[in-house]
Structure 1
Amino acid sequence: MNFLAKEKCLCEELANILKGEAEQKKNLCKVTRERKNLKPTILGHPTSSDLVIALEFSFEPVAKKDKTLNLAELVFLQEEVNPFLQEIKKSEQILVTAIHNHWLFEEPRLIYVHLESVQNPIEFAKEVAYALKKAGVK
């Protein structure tokens, strides 16, 4: 039995730490958190699509005991990126694997950051949640 299967409420606990909604499919835990304060437009049209304004996380078991493959794609306003990166780089286990935009002609300019790690999922969630808070992400 793997780590996620043993802990039925682990996905909910991760969602609580990350202030998101949990969805569990077999051994995969997905957490989605909307950036409700973002009111972007693309090509001049308002959007509330998760493709644009969601912080997304996934947690999958690996062969190492009590560890998971932790992945994240996070959306930021430009001014939030550097404070987040300064904090998350203090982690010895979390890798920043991409920083980029997704859309053309969006207002305000949105930047997406990808993270990955293999570690205890609670530790990952707490480190990311703290860095989000330090960056002023609500």
Structure 2
Amino acid sequence: MKLSPEMMELAFMANFEKVGNQTIVMGEFALLEDEVNPVISELRKGKIEVSTLHNHMLGENPRIHYVHFQGTGKLDQLAQTVETAIKTTK
């Protein structure tokens, strides 16, 4: 399946929630194939766990991969890590 330009906008989502004196972040990136490793590397550097890497379709062009992540810590550190990961994308 070839994706149309209208389908090419890739998604990102992150939710931050304060729990006690820490913050939890959970989110998802929709990435092109060459963006996957740089995003995962930045998340791991910031101690954010990558919980899932998968795709939703078979045979789409270009390939789109979904990276789910979660982490616990200080809000500013989590937000900085997520921002750095975003900056590695196109």
Q: Establish whether residue 81 from structure 1 lines up as the match of residue 36 from structure 2.
A: yes
SS at match of 1:129: helix
- Which is higher, the Rg of structure 1 or of structure 2? 1
How many residue pairs match? The answer is 89
Check 1:84–1:58 CA distance in 2 against 1; reply closer, same or farther (3 A cut): same
Runs of 4+ in 1 over 3 A off after TM superposition: none
Among 63, 67, 71, the residue aligned to 1:117:
71
Q: Assess, with a 3 A threshold, how the Cα gap between structure 1 residues 45 and 91 changes in structure 2: closer, same or farther.
A: closer
Equivalence map 1:67-106=2 (5 Å)? 67-92=22-47, 94-106=48-60
Using the TM superposition, give the Cα deviation of residue 45 of structure 1 relative to its aligned residue in structure 2, in angstroms.
5.0
Distance 1:45 1:80 in 2: 18
RMSD (Å) for aligned C-alpha atoms: 2.1
Change (3 A) 1:88 1:108: same
Matches within 5 A, 1:46-61: 46=4, 47-48=6-7, 53-61=10-18
Q: What TM-score, normalized by structure 2, do the two folds share?
A: 0.80
Q: Percent identity?
A: 34
Q: Does 1:126 align with 2:80?
A: yes
1:107 aligns with 2:61: yes
Query: Aligned-pair distance for 1:103?
Result: 1.8
Counterpart for residue 12 of structure 1 = none
- CA distance in structure 2 between the aligned counterparts of 1:53 and 1:86, rounded to whole angstroms: 19
Query: How far apart are 1:128 and its partner, in Å?
Result: 1.5
The one of the two structures with greater contact order (alpha-carbon pairs below 8 A, sep at least 6) is 2
1:78-115 CA-to-partner distances (Å, cap 9, x unmatched) read: 111112222222123x1110111112232210111111
